[in-house]
Amino acid sequence: MPSVTRKPQANRQERREQIERRLLDATDRLMADGASITELSVDRLATEAGISRASFYIYFEDKGHLLRRLATQVFVDLTEAARRWWS
């Protein structure tokens, strides 16, 4: 009987974080280039991140969810920078 090889959970989590990061970076990059969130389609964001539209929805419910995650990441980055500056 053939055996089923399962990927370690850590690899899945790393892959998930990598793809989420690519989507967040793509959104940040496109917005820095002047695109508004309303101008950015899920197709464009997915293409920029190098994933399929269907994959986008595995990681984010919609663009609003992606934008909230991006805002949270910006806040975390600013908080960390302020902490280092005040230390």
Q: What is the pLDDT of residue 70?
A: 94
Class of domain 10-86: mainly alpha
Each residue of 24-45: b (16+ CB within 10 Å) or e? bebbeebeeeeeeeeebebeeb
Tokens of 4: 């089923």
Distance CA 47, CA 87 (A): 40
Domain spans in the chain, listed from the N-terminal domain onward: 10-86
Distance of alpha carbon 13 from the chain centroid? 13
Task: Dump pLDDT digits (tens) for 64-85.
Answer: 999 999 999 999 999 999 999 9
Question: What's the confidence (pLDDT) of residue 82?
Answer: 96
**pLDDT for residue 5 is more than 80:** no
Q: Report the pLDDT averaged over residues 34-40.
A: 94
